[in-house]
Amino acid sequence: MKEEMSSVDIRYIVQELKEEIVGARVDKVYHEGNEVRIKLHKAGEGRKDLIIEAGKRIHLTSYIKESPQPSSFAMLLRKHLSGSFVDGIEQHDFDRIVKIRIGKFTIIAELFRRGNVILVDENNTIIGAIRYEEFKDRAIKPKLEYKYPPARENPLEVSWDRFVELIKGEDTEIVRALARKLNMGGLYAEEILLRAGIDKKKNVKKLSEDELKVIYEKMKEVFNSPKKPNIVYKEGKMIDVVPIELKWYEGYERVYFETFSQALDEYFGKLTIEKAKEERTRKLEEKKKQLMATLERQERMIKGFEEEARKNQEIGDLIYANYTIIDGILREFSKAVEKFGWNEFKKRLEEGKKQGNKIALLVKNVNPEEDSITIELEGRKIKLYLNRSINDNAELYYEKAKKAKHKLEGAKKAYEELKRKLEQIEKEIEEEEKKIQVKKIEKRKKKWFEKFRWFISSEGFLVIGGKDATTNEIVVRKYMQENDIYCHADIWGAPHVIIKDGQKASERTIFEACQFAVSMSRAWSEGLYSGDAYWVYPEQVKKQAPSGEFLPKGAFMVYGKRNWMHGIPLKLAVGVVKYEGEELVMCGPVDAVKAHTDKYIVIRPGDVKKSELVKRIQKILEKWGYKVPEEDIMAVLPPGEGEIVEVVE
């Protein structure tokens, strides 16, 4: 089973993470053991958690550990990185090393062997690390320059001549030569040779130039394969997670994912939970194992006692069912033994068998030492003591059946007690598993408009607005159409607000959109209680600046008549509304929210920190039966501090 990412995996995940995390803001950093988790927020996309496990993996995760008291390394990372933005991420050469640039600093994730996570400054000087260590050619210690491990060959950049030189310099199987010399690991060496149709065990000295050319071409093909992330299963168990379709795994069950991060997260997330369960319940599982073994032995004993009781009871009954025959055998045989002795009796018995005597043929064994004979009746062997009566013989079997039943009762009681103990152990295991501090954040797939500021007007029109320069640009350029209405607050940096299909709306919706534009602007964070806004038609909004002027990103010019609304109060409401089959937390003008839900919270500019305001709103929503993540509430609220002025239930 795979336990760490390969250089190939890292190449693909880094390409993916460039799209996912570059431009995201660092909210908080957590550290425990070998793991560092960076909680990020990306405008228009919300929360993203990046997990780095030294020596093993790096990807976005939804499996979140409840972190203990922050470590000194976590505090160091928070001090230097919180509030900064991710500027870039790259793989160092083709090694299992990833560099993440955040502001003036860089996190270096070493994902080979024991691994490490190191923070360096703009001069590549080490500020801190998970662990400090020394090697023969470098050291990980504060104030020292960070040095990379000795470089290894990059199969993506290796020339044909260099490839031949590397491979021909070996005297081993081609699969080993590829894995060692070109830093790709065994799996991808096998895949390349499988696609090339060349025996992996063939010695490199016996390879022709044509065969080497095919291997070289297939190597380039594999490492430039289109991304198709999947988890590979064998007999229902995960055995690998890979970024591309591998011929090597043809015939195996495979589950595909939209992103490599999702595949890695599902794979390593489940491993993390399984390991956490194993660590927390190891002793209890040992007890359970012992109890189950004892329980199995007890089950076998119960079956044995049941069989013994049944068998002896049936033999006792069989003796009485054949009373005349058995009584006659006991009387006649005891007299014969008394008269002739056992040796003569046995001789006469054998002669009787030869002559076909029915009674003699019933006898299967003679035991002079026990003064007994064994006969067979109705397929049952019955031992009879010649010195006892038929009643005494039958009673012997009934007594054995009675003792077996008594033992059976005791065994059943012991079995029930073991079952009770096993159930108790299983409950304890279940309770311990509940304490495992790893939970999976189930992220709802957001609707397209949730990357912007938005609300549904009281008349049912969708209104969207930008959150920053980038989303402002997108709102106007991509989503504004000729039948919409454009609204803007009379303050610099206010969001561009669009009423979709707004030319069919009444003045009521237009007023709500203008109130939204004012409330979502800097006017809120400045503590203003009212502001002005205007609306125009889409054709009046252009990216064309007056001569000699320049329009920055997110800025547009409005030409022609503006339809003004003055003295609009900055007041919004928060509630959970049903829209397109889903329940969504919405923040918008009070009349708009009121039109779609009976319960809502009215807010206005105030002096309560936004994070605290979010928690208060979350508690009220929870009381109403809605479990809304903090980040979802944070995403819809206006910028800056505020206060709750009314709760309508």
Beta strand pairing call for 582-588 and 237-242: unpaired
Residue 547 banded pLDDT, cuts 50, 70, 90: low
Residue 154 banded pLDDT, cuts 50, 70, 90: confident
**Highest averaged pLDDT of the listed ranges 233-237, 456-460, 580-584:** 456-460
Kindly give, in sequence order, each residue whose CB lies less than 8 Å from that of residue 138, ignoring residues fewer than 6 positions away: 147, 148, 149
pLDDT at 67 over 70: no
Beta-bridged to residue 48, according to DSSP, are: 40
Return d(Cα 602, Cα 647) in angstroms, integer: 6
Beta strand pairing call for 438-440 and 63-65: antiparallel
pLDDT at 435 over 80: no
Residue 623 banded pLDDT, cuts 50, 70, 90: very high
Sorted by where each begins, the domain ranges of the chain are 7-140, 160-260, 450-648
CA distances (Å), origin 313, targets 302, 412, 573: 16, 19, 83
Selected from 2.30.40.10, 1.10.8.50, 3.30.950.10, 3.40.720.10, the CATH number assigned to the domain covering 160-260 reads: 1.10.8.50
Q: Considering only CA atoms, which of 271, 207, 235, 225 is closest in space to residue 61?
A: 271
pLDDT value, residue 273: 73
User: pLDDT by residue (tens digit) across 552-569?
Assistant: 777 888 999 999 999 999
Give the fold, CATH level 3, of 7-140.
Answer: ibrinogen binding protein from staphylococcus aureus fold (2.30.310)
Q: 349-353, 507-511, 515-519: which has the minimum mean pLDDT? A: 349-353
Six-digit token string for 398: 């009934």
Residue scoring higher pLDDT (440 or 154): 154
Burial of 199 (0-12, 13-18, 19+ CB in 10 A): middle
CB atoms within 10 A of CB 271: 18
- Please, are residues 242 and 232 in contact by the beta-carbon 8 Å criterion? yes
Return d(Cα 520, Cα 637) in angstroms, integer: 8
Q: What is the 3-state secondary structure (H, E, C) of 471-499?
A: HHHHHHHHHCCCCCEEEEECCCCCCCEEE
Sign of CA dihedral 353, 357, 359, 361: positive
Residue scoring higher pLDDT (283 or 486): 486
pLDDT at 206 over 60: yes
- 3 state SS of 294: helix
Helix (H) or strand (E) holding 168: helix 160-168
pLDDT at 533 over 90: yes
pLDDT at 437 over 60: no
Beta strands in 436-569 (DSSP E): 438-440, 453-456, 462-465, 485-489, 497-499, 530-536, 541-542, 557-558, 563-569
Return d(Cα 82, Cα 99) in angstroms, integer: 17
Q: At what angle do helices 185-196 and 174-181 cross, to 10 degrees?
A: 130
Return d(Cα 195, Cα 193) in angstroms, integer: 5
Left (φ > 0), alpha (ψ -120 to 50) or beta: where does 23 sit? left
Q: Report residue 252 CA to chain centroid gap.
A: 21
Q: 152-161, 352-361, 546-555: which has the minimum mean pLDDT? A: 546-555
Residue 64 banded pLDDT, cuts 50, 70, 90: confident
pLDDT value, residue 350: 92
Q: Considering only CA atoms, which of 213, 22, 203 is closest in space to residue 100?
A: 22
pLDDT at 168 over 90: no
Return d(Cα 357, Cα 207) in angstroms, integer: 87
Q: Do domains 7-140 and 160-260 have the same CATH topology?
A: no
pLDDT value, residue 465: 96
Six-digit token string for 257: 């994912």
Return d(Cα 73, Cα 67) in angstroms, integer: 13
Task: Provide mean pLDDT across the span 89-99.
Answer: 94
Q: Considering only CA atoms, which of 430, 418, 64, 422 is closest in space to residue 281?
A: 430
Residue 272 banded pLDDT, cuts 50, 70, 90: confident
Residue 436 banded pLDDT, cuts 50, 70, 90: low
pLDDT value, residue 66: 67
pLDDT at 194 over 70: yes
Task: Provide mean pLDDT across the span 541-559.
Answer: 78
Q: Please give the backbone phi and psi of residue 85, each rounded to the nearest 5 degrees, phi first.
A: -110, 145
Return d(Cα 425, Cα 487) in angstroms, integer: 64
pLDDT at 367 over 80: yes
Residue 305 banded pLDDT, cuts 50, 70, 90: very high
Burial of 516 (0-12, 13-18, 19+ CB in 10 A): buried
Task: Provide mean pLDDT across the span 578-596.
Answer: 94
pLDDT value, residue 243: 95
pLDDT at 1 over 90: no
pLDDT value, residue 440: 64
Mean pLDDT of the chain, nearest integer: 91
DSSP H stretches of helix in 355-451: 358-362, 390-434
- Please, are residues 216 and 196 in contact by the beta-carbon 8 Å criterion? no
Amino acid at 220: K
CA distances (Å), origin 294, targets 202, 415, 417, 421, 425: 53, 9, 11, 11, 14
Left (φ > 0), alpha (ψ -120 to 50) or beta: where does 113 sit? left
Place of tokens 């979502």: 520
Residue 613 banded pLDDT, cuts 50, 70, 90: very high
pLDDT value, residue 45: 76
Task: Provide mean pLDDT across the span 276-292.
Answer: 76
pLDDT at 430 over 80: no
Q: Please give the backbone phi and psi of residue 169, each rounded to the nearest 5 degrees, phi first.
A: -75, -5
Task: Provide mean pLDDT across the span 477-494.
Answer: 94
CA distances (Å), origin 166, targets 44, 94, 172, 207, 578: 48, 16, 12, 13, 64
Share of the chain above pLDDT 90, in %: 74
Residue scoring higher pLDDT (628 or 595): 595
Residue 433 banded pLDDT, cuts 50, 70, 90: low
Residue 411 banded pLDDT, cuts 50, 70, 90: very high
Amino acid at 618: Q
Residue scoring higher pLDDT (99 or 442): 99
